[in-house]
Chains A and B, each alone.
Chain A
Amino acid sequence: MSLLHLSFYSTFTLSCLGLAFHRAHLISALLCLESMMLALYLALSTWPVENLTSSSSLTPLLMLTFSACEAGTGLAMLVASSRTHGSDHLHNLNLLQC
């Protein structure tokens, strides 16, 4: 596949793995989430260019909006957990652990 496709496939996969296997901090998960969104944005933007359908050029902008909202929500949760526990360590979020 072309270099562009490779770049966002690999970005998406690596960020997915980073999200699943993050270790200590919540913010690293959020960062991985952001890079996943970025990769998705790139992919969605490449699609009308390659398939020459200009009617789906709106899709990346919608996605970008929603990712910004989601990033805001994530950061709000980060701030809330750091206000409650004093840090953003993931082992603080253990309310449901049995």
Chain B
Amino acid sequence: MKTTLLLNSSMLLTLMIILTPTILPLATTSKNSAPSITRAVKTAFLTSLVPMTTFIHSGAESIISNWEWKFIMNFKIPISLKMDLYSMVFLPIALCITWSILQFASWYMASEPHITKFFSYLLIFLTMMLLLTTANNMFLLFIGWEGVGIMSFLLIGWWFARAEANTAALQAILYNRIGDIGLILSMAWLASTTNTWEIQHMHTTSQTPTLPLLGLILAATGKSAQFGLHPWLPAAMEGPTPVSALLHSSTMVVAGIFLLIRSHPMLSNNPTALTLCLCLGALSTLFAAMCALTQNDIKKIIAFSTSSQLGLMMVTIGLNLPQLAFLHISTHAFFKAMLFLCSGTIIHSLNGEQDIRKMGGLQNTLPTTTSCLTIGNLALMGTPFLAGFYSKDLIIENLNTSYLNTWALTLTLLATSFTATYSLRLTLLAQTGFNRTPPISSINENNPMILNPLSRLALGSIMAGLLISSLITPSNTPPMTMPTLTKMAAILVTTLGIIISLELSNMTHLLTLPKQNPYFNFSSSLGYFNPLTHRTNSSNLLLPGQKIATQLIDLSWYKKIGPEGLADLQQTSSKTLTSTHKGLIKTYLGTFTLSILIILMTL
């Protein structure tokens, strides 16, 4: 009794604390400020540790149901929040990362005149994300889904005077909208077939029809930037670095995967949907890793790395392992946010330089930042016993010992080696070697606003994997026995990627690249996806639309079949017949003979 009381009240308290900076200025005369919002998030984080430890201690889960929207007679839409493993573990992680990012943003956006608005936007985004995570029915999840989409639009286009930022924000909205079609399709199917939108009712005993699952997979493809709807994620790097760190690495982009984790009971019955997830995830992870190999912008490399890890999460869903996908979400959030914060520090220190070809030797001037960068990259690569190892290695082991698609397996292993390659390339070019930056740059990281978040996230990157995997009871047994080569497969391909990267960076220092080759062009132009699809799709949709609207409807049905057609007919016939009425004898004689002939023929 006391356990559930503690759980529910602390959870509600956490959500209240998050809502306070949004609601309080409307009710009273107090104003928000950057430090006050940071303090609110920190308090919420500390409060959210209580439900998490309660859950770890006792395994208690709960569902809170509030006011019900009596919209239609037979259909219940309550405001219900679900506290299970996923929401209770995700909440502290998201709040810790947001607190660190807000602290960092106090330094990064210090020269921004509208800094309070920026922080408010981030807070509203966080609220929406927490709503999405704790939602127990699809209606609240949809509200959170749309909310994070809108905040993503506002935050990517924060510097709205830049044309590229506006284009990127619009691109994000459009691609997310295509995914939303799938989500609404699934919601409609659920409402019409199962008459409920509650997540605990989303369970089928026999094989689930493929249609709603396709809708959910489409929604995940849009939100989590799988291959096909992926171009918005690298373009979203136009936003400020705290935005990239929060939205497009830890929190928003995992919303799609989270949706699939929530609907896992339905998904596990349908092998077609699982295979689709597997192949789509494998393709996404390899494509993004391939594109990251030749990027020169530090934020784009990390963005593609995010995209690749999202593909890996999709692969895990396809393997029917939602808990492992959630573990990867949690560990990935830590080191990816840290990588973005490190890149933000580097960019600000070098006075806005984002090209890694113009960085170098930062290990001497930014020791803490580059150490954290190294830790983050090692965790990303799956170095044994750092955070990424516990999730990534388990995924690769499960993939190797399952009776599933070999093609997906090959692609994932290849992507793992590419991950090592581009991470090491990033590290080598940005940190080591000689200094390639312009001489005058005010490099100073001795600010507790930078160091505290960074070290906190570094601690998380090291410890999170161990902590989460040892404190949470797994829902299915991991594979225990496998051949040695299979067990070492992830390490081997990672080492292979490292060796190749060392060799390649040696090549760039000692030899010159002779000429372009098609693989380099394919990788650096992101697979030619953007120019191919953006123009053809839109013109294929808009041209028939124009033809139908102007030529079919306006011209044909309003004009030609009606008055103008009749006028044309009359005009043609009168033009033809006028020549016989000119008063010429020849015509009359000709008509005369013609009539005689006709009469003679019928006699």
Q: Which residues in A have some Cβ–Cβ distance to B below 8 Å? A: 16-17, 19-22, 90, 93-94, 96-98
Name the interface residues of B578-595: CB closer than 8 Å to any CB of A: 581-586, 589-590, 592-593
Q: How far is the CA of A19 from the CA of B581 in the complex (A)?
A: 19
Can you offer 17 A-B residue contacts whose CB atoms are under 8 A?
A16-B593, A16-B596, A19-B589, A20-B586, A20-B589, A20-B592, A20-B593, A21-B586, A21-B593, A22-B586, A93-B585, A94-B583, A94-B584, A96-B583, A97-B583, A97-B584, A98-B581
Residues of A contacting B584 in the complex (Cβ-Cβ under 8 angstroms): 94, 97
Q: How far is the CA of A1 from the CA of B585 in the complex (A)?
A: 34
Closest residue of B by beta carbon distance from A96: B583
Asked if A90 contacts B586 (CB within 8 A), the reply is yes
Residues of B contacting A97 in the complex (Cβ-Cβ under 8 angstroms): 582-584
Asked if B583 contacts A98 (CB within 8 A), the reply is yes
Residues of B contacting A94 in the complex (Cβ-Cβ under 8 angstroms): 583-584
Name the interface residues of B556-603: CB closer than 8 Å to any CB of A: 581-586, 589-590, 592-593, 596
Besides A20-B593, A97-B583, 5 other CB < 8 A contacts? A20-B586, A21-B589, A22-B586, A94-B584, A98-B582
B603 → chain A closest CB, angstroms: 14
Residues of B contacting A20 in the complex (Cβ-Cβ under 8 angstroms): 586, 589-590, 592-593
Residues of A contacting B585 in the complex (Cβ-Cβ under 8 angstroms): 90, 93
Count, chain B residues at interface, CB 8 A: 11
Q: How far is the CA of A11 from the CA of B125 in the complex (A)?
A: 104
A49 → chain B closest CB, angstroms: 26
Residues of A contacting B592 in the complex (Cβ-Cβ under 8 angstroms): 20
Interface of B is mostly: helix
Residue interface bits B529-572, CB-to-A below 8 A is 1, else 0 = 00000000000000000000000000000000000000000000
Q: How far is the CA of A93 from the CA of B589 in the complex (A)?
A: 15
Residues of B contacting A17 in the complex (Cβ-Cβ under 8 angstroms): 593
Residues of B contacting A98 in the complex (Cβ-Cβ under 8 angstroms): 581-583
Q: Which 5 A-B pairs have the closest CB atoms?
A: A20-B589, A20-B593, A96-B583, A97-B583, A97-B582
Residues of B contacting A22 in the complex (Cβ-Cβ under 8 angstroms): 586
Residues of A contacting B581 in the complex (Cβ-Cβ under 8 angstroms): 98
Q: Which of B582, B583, B590 contacts A21 (CB 8 A)?
A: B590
B601 → chain A closest CB, angstroms: 13
A5 → chain B closest CB, angstroms: 16
Q: How far is the CA of A94 from the CA of B583 in the complex (A)?
A: 8
Residues of A contacting B586 in the complex (Cβ-Cβ under 8 angstroms): 20-22, 90
Residues of B contacting A93 in the complex (Cβ-Cβ under 8 angstroms): 585
Residues of B contacting A96 in the complex (Cβ-Cβ under 8 angstroms): 583
Closest residue of A by beta carbon distance from B589: A20
Q: How far is the CA of A97 from the CA of B584 in the complex (A)?
A: 6
Q: How far is the CA of A97 from the CA of B592 in the complex (A)?
A: 19
Residues of A contacting B589 in the complex (Cβ-Cβ under 8 angstroms): 19-21
Q: How far is the CA of A62 from the CA of B593 in the complex (A)?
A: 27
Q: How far is the CA of A17 from the CA of B586 in the complex (A)?
A: 11
Q: How far is the CA of A16 from the CA of B592 in the complex (A)?
A: 10
B600 → chain A closest CB, angstroms: 9
Q: How far is the CA of A98 from the CA of B589 in the complex (A)?
A: 18
Q: How far is the CA of A98 from the CA of B596 in the complex (A)?
A: 27
Closest residue of B by beta carbon distance from A93: B585
B575 → chain A closest CB, angstroms: 15
Q: How far is the CA of A87 from the CA of B592 in the complex (A)?
A: 27
A31 → chain B closest CB, angstroms: 15
Residues of A contacting B596 in the complex (Cβ-Cβ under 8 angstroms): 16
Q: How far is the CA of A4 from the CA of B380 in the complex (A)?
A: 116
Q: How far is the CA of A70 from the CA of B231 in the complex (A)?
A: 97
A92 → chain B closest CB, angstroms: 12
Residues of B contacting A16 in the complex (Cβ-Cβ under 8 angstroms): 593, 596
A93 → chain B closest CB, angstroms: 7
Residues of A contacting B593 in the complex (Cβ-Cβ under 8 angstroms): 16-17, 20-21
B595 → chain A closest CB, angstroms: 11
Q: How far is the CA of A94 from the CA of B585 in the complex (A)?
A: 9
Closest residue of A by beta carbon distance from B581: A98
B578 → chain A closest CB, angstroms: 9
Q: How far is the CA of A90 from the CA of B589 in the complex (A)?
A: 13
Q: How far is the CA of A78 from the CA of B582 in the complex (A)?
A: 23
Q: How far is the CA of A22 from the CA of B588 in the complex (A)?
A: 12
B414 → chain A closest CB, angstroms: 87
Q: How far is the CA of A1 from the CA of B583 in the complex (A)?
A: 40
B199 → chain A closest CB, angstroms: 87
Q: How far is the CA of A98 from the CA of B585 in the complex (A)?
A: 13
Q: How far is the CA of A27 from the CA of B15 in the complex (A)?
A: 113
Closest residue of A by beta carbon distance from B578: A98
Q: How far is the CA of A22 from the CA of B592 in the complex (A)?
A: 14
Q: How far is the CA of A20 from the CA of B590 in the complex (A)?
A: 5
Closest residue of A by beta carbon distance from B587: A20
Residue interface bits B65-108, CB-to-A below 8 A is 1, else 0 = 00000000000000000000000000000000000000000000
Q: How far is the CA of A13 from the CA of B551 in the complex (A)?
A: 55
Q: How far is the CA of A20 from the CA of B581 in the complex (A)?
A: 16
